[in-house]
Each structure stands twice: as C-alpha cells, then as structure tokens.
Amino acid sequence: MLDLFADAEPWEEPLAPGAVILRRFALASDSALMAAIADVATHAPFRQMVTPGGYTMSVAMTNCGPLGWTTDQRGYLYSPNDPLTGHRWPPLPVAFTTLCHRAAIAAGYADFQPDACLINRYGVGAKLSLHQDKDEADLRAPIVSVSLGLPAVFQFGGMKRNDPLQRLLLEHGDVVVWGGASRLFYHGIQPLKPGEHPLTGEYRYNLTFRQAAKSE
Ligand code: SIN
Ligand code: FE2
C-alpha cells in the first residue's frame, strides 16, 4: 500500500499549556529504538508489577538509566537497582538520550536531563488508568513520552481526576512532552486494541523519560 505520509516531516500539535504532541518525531529512529529496547530487556526483563494495593498491572514494564520506577508493598519508588535481578538498571541507550534531548528542545524544554526511562509494553487489552506522574523529586522537569508500534488512545485531563479528558490517538513515532503548567495533569491509556505492527508485532511500546532525582 502506498503510504502518502511515510516521508512526511514531523509536525506539532499543541495539547495544553506546557504540553505538545510531536507527531512522528521518533519515526526516523524507530529501528534503533526497538533494538535498544530489546537489548535493555535482555538485562532487565519486562515484568508485570504489583501495585501496593495488590493489583497486577496489565502493562509489562522495565527501566533503564540511573533510576528505575518500581513498586513494592509500601508504594511506588525510584530505585537504582532492579528488584528482579538485584543489579543496576541498564544504562540509557544513546538512541534514547539523543531522541529525548531533541524532543525536549523541540517542545521548549532546553535543558532536560533524564535520569530514568520507564519502558511500558502493552499487549492486547493492557491499559493504564488515569494517574499523575508525581513520584519525581523535581517537578520543574518535563515528561517526554515516546510511542512505538500499535496505536493507543491517550487520555489527557487536568489537575483534578474528574477534569474533562482529551482523547488522542497516539501512533507509531509520536512523542508527547508535558511540563510546566501541565506537568501534573492526569493522563492514561485506554485498553489496547488487537493488531499487528511491522516493527513491534502485537505490542505497543512507550518510553517515558523523567528526571526522578532532585537536581542540584
Ligand atoms: C505513562 O503514563 O507512564 C505512559 C503513557 C503511555 O503509555 O503513552
Ligand atoms: Fe504517566
């Protein structure tokens, strides 16, 4: 099939104050990103974490970078070690840091220095309920979120859980950046619909870059 948009330049869609969708921004590096995900997963395997409330998350997760987001009985935390292996999380792949840096600049966040990257893998039906990213020590840094593979519906609300939601389809290569006034806005992912993607098969992957530790 002829894809008229295959060679299109990325374009920007404003989302909220401080938030923007960089459509197809990661498309040109998709193979390098997928190879890096596979490499990370050989050292720190995907696993379904259990929330403090005892609920097994439908999304499979792993991390790379100095800190990784995990759960234990007490709550959500950033840890330098993978609780599954006892080892440090794998370092941030160069393909990740390069893309994240470029995306942050394009979104107006010039000196974003992530120390954590959560990698989410969604199989059919997997979802992420509405939540705020608020486990990070310094909320001045934005969130950079990269979508790869099957499309999913992203919900983006406001400061309150029951604020009205925008629903946006995130497709392969899209990058969402939110910070500033929208840094703590509620967001989530609706259950993944079945499908087959040439690069990711039956999955959607999401990379979420954060600055988790306090900067000096
Ligand atoms: C997240 O909120 O951590 C992930 C969002 C996404 O999968 O796009
Ligand atoms: Fe999130």
pLDDT, tens digit (0-9, with 9 covering 90-100), for 19-30:
999 999 999 999
Atom of ligand 1 nearest to the CA of 147: 8
Distance 5 CA to ligand 2 centre (A): 29
Helices of type H across 4-61: 30-43
User: DSSP state, 105?
Assistant: H
For residue 27 the two structure tokens come to 């498309």
pLDDT greater than 80 at residue 47? yes
CA–CA gap between residue 174 and residue 181 (Å, rounded):
21
User: What phi and psi, each to the nearest 5 degrees, are found at residue 187?
Assistant: -155, 165
Q: In the chain, pLDDT over 90 holds for what percent of residues?
A: 91
To 5 degrees, how large is the angle CA 136–CA 149–CA 102?
50
Contact 52, 73 (CB under 8 A): yes
Torsion of CA 208, 31, 151, 188, to 10 degrees: -10
What is the reported pLDDT for 3? 63
Is the CB of 29 within 6 Å of ligand 1?
no
What 3-state class would DSSP assign to 71?
A: strand
φ and ψ at residue 29, rounded to 5 degrees? -110, 20
Q: For the whole model, what pTM was predicted?
A: 0.96
209 Cβ neighbours under 8 A, 6+ residues apart: 96, 100, 112, 114, 116, 117, 143, 144, 145, 146
Mean pLDDT of 106-124: 97
In percent, how much of the chain has pLDDT > 70? Answer: 96
Instruction: Specify the pLDDT at position 39.
Output: 98
Pairwise CA distance, residues 192 & 57, whole Å? 14
Cβ of 206 below 6 Å from ligand 1: yes
Mean pLDDT value across residues 29-33: 98
Region of 47 (left: φ > 0; alpha: ψ -120 to 50; beta: rest) is beta
